[in-house]
Structure 1
Amino acid sequence: MSIANHLVSLACQSVRQEDVTRVSAITIRVGALACVHPDSLKFCFDAVSEGTLLEGAELRIISVPVVVYCPTCQCEIELPEIQPLRCTVCQTPCGDVRHGNELELESIEVVDASD
């Protein structure tokens, strides 16, 4: 619930200075390691957005896979699963996570007063 509340608050703050009547959609990027369940987040988002500029807005979630850096192969490797954090080529343990922790507000689609 707190993540959804923060998203609504952040989006409302971002459009406060604009001539916006409502937000039609927001897009977020969620990493596989962020421990966020998309269906739960959408449910909470709908609940906390009631009575705000985001009421009825669509929550779009882009899933970000885990990408680690393999020191042996000297390249970034996208992992098919969260565990284990090992290179899929050489099986070296990889603790250098490059992507997968994200929880970012990527975009806000608005309806302005002239629409």
Structure 2
Amino acid sequence: MDLQDQLKNLFPDHEPEESTDKIDAKPSYWLQDDPIICKYEKRKGKPITILEGYNGADSDLKKLAKDLKTFLGVGGSVKKETIIIQGDFRDKIMAFLKDNGFTVKRVGG
């Protein structure tokens, strides 16, 4: 006997309601016309990916950075209107940003 059957036994008169509200799976960010610049550097021998050129609100920048870090499963930070991601993830980051409606420009290599 699964949970649905147990609930039907406990509450025979209750009819479950279908949720008609669909939650949008994609997060909403402030989109801009200018492309976000995605570049690769090495600092102290460690590879990092830098995203520059986002001119939205600071809260949107932090939300975008958090979603990118969660998507990639890596660390990073937000400093001086740039997002710094640990590791070389340019291709994955560019695909993520394009899926969310941004235009991205790859710089270097």
Q: Same fold (TM over 0.5)?
A: no
- Structure having the higher Rg: 2
Say which structure is richer in strand.
1
State the structure with bigger RCO (CA 8 A, min sep 6), 1 or 2.
1
State the TM-score, normalized to the length of structure 1: 0.27
Say which structure is richer in helix.
2
